[in-house]
Structure 1
C-alpha cells in the first residue's frame, strides 16, 4: 500500500515537473508565476471569504460605506485598463499583428518582451479585481454576489495564469485586449456610481453595460473561430484557441441569461420599497404608513406639508413616495400628484 502511494506521488511530481517545464522562461521572474500553487491558494481563499467567512463576519455588523475607497479603486482600474490596452496595441496588435493567425513571438526582442509584460499585467489585474466581491461582502450587497459574478472572477484568473504562462501573446491574447477595453467602460461606470447620487443622471446607460459585455464575447468567439477555417496557422498553442472559443461562447450564454432575467423579466432590477394597495387608501413604505394623504410615522402626523408633533408644527418638504425625485408622478386615492417637487 505504501509503495503504491509512493508511486502515485512520484508520477504526480513528474507530471507537475513536465507541466512547469512548458511555462515560458521569460516569465520566471514575474510575481506569482513560478508555480500555479500561490494563485490557486489566493482564489480558494477568495471563495472561502466571499461564500462563508465574510457573510458570517458581517452578519451582525453595520455595512461599511467605503465610498472613497471604491472611487479610488474603480478609477485606478480605469487607468490600469487604459494602459493595458495601449500596451497590447503597441506590442503587436497595432504594429505587426495581422488580426488573423498571429503566433507567439518567443524571442527576447523589445517588442516581444513588452507583450510578455502586458500579458502578465492583464492577468494580475484579474487578481486585483477580486476586490469587487470583497466590497460587496463588506457593504452587505449580497444580491450582487451571484453565481455568474463569482464564476467569472475566479475562472478568469485561474485559466489566464496558464494562458500567460504558456502563450504570452499571439492571437490568443486578442480576448485579453478586448476584455481590458470593456473594463475601461465598466469601471468608469462603477466609479461614477460610487461617487454618489449627484452622478446618477449620468448613468442612464447602465443596461447597455451588459450589451457591451455580450458584444465582447461575440468578437472573441468570432476571432477564435477563424482558426478552424484556416488552411495553415503557425500559432503554437491551439488549445488556447479552443479554450478562448469555449470561454466566449459560455459567457455569452451566461450573460444573455442575465440580460433576460434583468431587463426582460425584470427579476434583477432594483426592487421598489413601496407596496401599493389596490384600493388606493394605504401605502406602506419603509415602516411608514401613508393613508388618505397623511403620513403617520413614529407617532408623528405629517399632513399637507406640515409636521405636527407635541402640539407644535414645522414645515417639511414633500418627497415622492415612490422613493425617487426625478419628476415621476405618484397616483394615490385616484388623484395624480404633480411629479415636480413642491417645497413647503
Structure 2
C-alpha cells in the first residue's frame, strides 16, 4: 500500500484523505475498504433495476410478519443508537452548537463511535424497505426519492463512521435516529393489517417530521459553518448541500400527496 500525501493507494486505486480517518473505527466491519461500500451499493441498485422485472412475474406478497419484525427491529436499533448518542454526549457535556472532534478511547467517546457504526449498519438494513416494496408490487413507492434517500444515506453514514464518528456529528445522528424510531413505529403498526388503520391517521405527519428534520439540520449546519466550528468545515458544507435536495424532494412529495384532497394511500 503506497502513500501519496493525503492519499493512500490501494492497488491502482487512490484513496483520498486516508491519513485523516478515525483510527478507532478504521478496522471495524465494513468500514475500512471503499470496495465494501461500492459492492453493497451496486447490489442495492441492481435490485432496484432488475427486482421489479423479476417480481412482476409472480403474485404480490403480503409479508405482514416479516414487515412487522423488520420494523420492530429497526425501532429497537434506532432507539439504541439514540440512547447511546444522547446519554454519552450529555455525559461528556458536548456542546449542541459546536463540538470539536475528539479521537479519544474513553468509554463515553467509544460509545459514540460505536453508535455511529450501528447507525451505518442500520442504513444497510433499511435496504430491506426497498425489497419489501418490490415483493409486494408497491411500484409507486419505488420512487427516485426513495432510492436516492436510501443509497445516499448509506454512503454518507460510511463517511461519518470512517472519518468523523465524534464531535458535532452527534447532532444530526441523534435527530435522524429519533425520526426513524417514530417512522418505523408507524411501519410496524401498518403491517398489522386493516384493523389498525384507524390508528394511522398521522401518516401525513411523517413527511412533515422529515421536513422539520431537514430544516433543523440546515439551520444547525448553517450556524456551525458561520461560526467556523472546529469540525471539518468541508464535511459541514457537504452535509448542508446534501440536505437541500431533500427539502425540495420531500416538499414536492408532501404537496403531491397532501396538498390537495387525495384518496388515503398506504405507505406500505
Distance apart, 1:93 and its partner CA: 4.6
The answer to whether the 8 A contact 1:89-1:95 is kept is: no
**Which of 189, 194, 199 pairs up with 2:191?**
194
Q: Any stretches of 5+ residues in structure 2 without a counterpart?
A: 1-7
Match of 1:57 in 2: 54
> Is residue 161 from structure 1 mapped to residue 158 from structure 2 by the alignment?
yes
Q: How does 1:91-240 map to 2 (within 5 A)?
A: 91-93=88-90, 95-230=92-227, 232-235=228-231, 237-240=232-235
The answer to whether the 8 A contact 1:70-1:191 is kept is: yes
| Separation in structure 2 between the aligned mates of residue 164 and residue 179 of structure 1, nearest angstrom | 15
> Is residue 258 from structure 1 mapped to residue 253 from structure 2 by the alignment?
yes
The change in CA–CA distance for 1:245 and 1:140 in structure 2 (over 3 A counts) is: same
Give the match's secondary structure for 1:195.
coil
Q: Any stretches of 5+ residues in structure 1 without a counterpart?
A: 1-9, 272-344
* Structure with the larger strand share: 1
Q: Deviations over 1:180-202 (max 9, x none)?
A: 10001100000000011111110
Specify the structure having the higher radius of gyration (Cα): 1
| Separation in structure 1 between the aligned mates of residue 253 and residue 247 of structure 2, nearest angstrom | 10
Distance apart, 1:30 and its partner CA: 1.2
Distance apart, 1:35 and its partner CA: 0.7
Match of 1:23 in 2: 21
Aligned length: 259
| Separation in structure 2 between the aligned mates of residue 257 and residue 181 of structure 1, nearest angstrom | 23
| Separation in structure 1 between the aligned mates of residue 238 and residue 167 of structure 2, nearest angstrom | 14
The answer to whether the 8 A contact 2:225-2:233 is kept is: no
The change in CA–CA distance for 1:12 and 1:36 in structure 2 (over 3 A counts) is: closer
* Structure with the larger helix share: 2
Distance apart, 1:264 and its partner CA: 1.2
Please report the TM-score for the alignment, with normalisation by the length of structure 2: 0.90
The answer to whether the 8 A contact 1:99-1:171 is kept is: yes
Distance apart, 1:173 and its partner CA: 2.9
Distance apart, 1:266 and its partner CA: 5.5
Deviates most, 168-177 or 132-141:
168-177
Match of 1:245 in 2: 240
Distance apart, 1:12 and its partner CA: 8.1
Give the match's secondary structure for 2:31.
coil
| Separation in structure 2 between the aligned mates of residue 202 and residue 159 of structure 1, nearest angstrom | 34
Deviates most, 99-108 or 258-267:
258-267
The change in CA–CA distance for 1:270 and 1:37 in structure 2 (over 3 A counts) is: same
Distance apart, 1:269 and its partner CA: 5.1
Distance apart, 1:59 and its partner CA: 1.8
Match of 1:44 in 2: 42
Distance apart, 1:229 and its partner CA: 2.6
Q: Deviations over 1:238-283 (max 9, x none)?
A: 1111122122222111100111111114578539xxxxxxxxxxxx
